Amino acid sequence: MSSSSTPPSSASSSAPRGDESAPLSLCAREPQVPAERLVAEMVPPPRFDQVRFSTYIPDPNQPSQAEAVTVLEGFATGLGGASATGAGKRRWFARKPAATPAGPRGVYLDGGYGVGKTHLLASLWHATPAAPEHKAFGTFVELTNLVGALGFQETVRTLSGHRLLCIDEFELDDPGDTVLVSSLLAKLVEAGVALAATSNTLPGKLGEGRFAAADFLREIQGLSAHFRPLRIDGEDYRHRGLPAAPEPYSEEQVTRAAYATPGASLDGFGQLLDHLSRVHPSRYGALTDDLRAVCLTGVRPVPDQSTALRLVVLADRLYDREVPVLTSGVPFDRLFSEEMLNGGYRKKYFRAISRLTALARDGKGLVGPGAA
């Protein structure tokens, strides 16, 4: 993997002179990620390293939150039976694990935005008494990317030795991917793997901003008997009056910040979008390895849906890794067209805007005081 490069030509005229070393470049990186790493990295992202059931603070006005913690703690305890066979080994003659006290071999966390579903899902992963290599955590997109990288049968073989598979943001806006993952989960259930999931809203189901449990169970085709829905009521804990995202900075400010920040990358936005089209989304995490910040010049609306969806994946990986972002050009709320924001993938685009906005707030500190 290349670790550094001359910054993009669009920013070179603003490059500082002197002792500052050139920043890194995402466009110079072409990571080759072995299959073992893809599976080994299926753990809760860094921002959820330390979450536990004990750090989830239920809203006293929402009894379903405390109830969900109790049920999930019991579910995790029920997964502490005889150890699973080694990851990747076939289990044709292995005794299937007994059902947990909750009954089904899966739980589905059903709730609106910001009620702590991912916190609880990661807490379940941490609480399950199994070695890290025998439990997996990833988003729906990461799971489909894994199948794309390994193939269906190899993914089944690799995950069949796991005790638990947690799937965050189960997406149902692509029928083909829904069928693919439903088929994968059916194979894993046969192998004795326990499941836990949260999900996103289907297109058109705007209401509470959630995807109702009954609809989720219908969409996963034949797996509904394996899931116990846990409703988690409450308001979005992120609605705390946070300041608006800072306006984009000038190209010179972004470039100077990239040069002044060890471990920062500096790329032209257009060049980065072109580069993402040549890198498989399963490698976007590796693309951001060891980055302290991402600096982009010339941010503009994305030209088409394929490009937009790749950007969504990169935004997720940067958010998971808490990498600050500093940009020049248009603000993040103008990245996606009105047609995109009203279409079938609207949830993904709004999530990307929200996450990039949060990272932009984090990136504000990279620019010297008084430089707004």
pLDDT in tens, 59-105: 899 999 999 999 999 999 999 754 444 433 333 333 344 443 435 78
CATH assignment, 60-232: 3.40.50.300
What separation in angstroms does the CA of 254 have from each of 25, 32, 292, 371? 14, 29, 14, 11
pLDDT at position 80 is 79
Q: E strands within the chain?
A: 106-111, 135-139, 164-170, 194-199, 227-232, 264-268, 293-299, 325-329
pLDDT digits (tens, 9 = 90+) for 225-270: 788 888 888 765 654 445 566 789 999 999 999 999 999 999 999 9
pLDDT band at 194 (very low <50, low <70, confident <90, very high): very high
117 has a pLDDT exceeding 70: yes
Instruction: Name, in order, each residue with C-beta under 8 angstroms of 186's C-beta and a sequence gap of 6 or more.
Output: 222, 223
Which two structure tokens, joined as six digits, stand for 217?
A: 């169970």
pTM given for the model: 0.69
Higher pLDDT, 353 or 112: 353
Higher pLDDT, 347 or 17: 347
| Mean predicted lDDT score pLDDT of the chain | 81
Check: CB of residue 4 under 8 Å from CB of residue 244.
Answer: no
Tell me the mean pLDDT in the region 296-317.
Answer: 95
Which two structure tokens, joined as six digits, stand for 333?
A: 């709320």
Tell me the mean pLDDT in the region 342-359.
Answer: 85
pLDDT at position 369 is 62
Give CA–CA dist 340/320, Å, rounded: 24
Tell me the mean pLDDT in the region 116-130.
Answer: 94
310 has a pLDDT exceeding 90: yes
pLDDT band at 45 (very low <50, low <70, confident <90, very high): confident
Name the residue with tokens 């008997």: 225
For the chain, the domains span: 9-33+244-366, 60-232
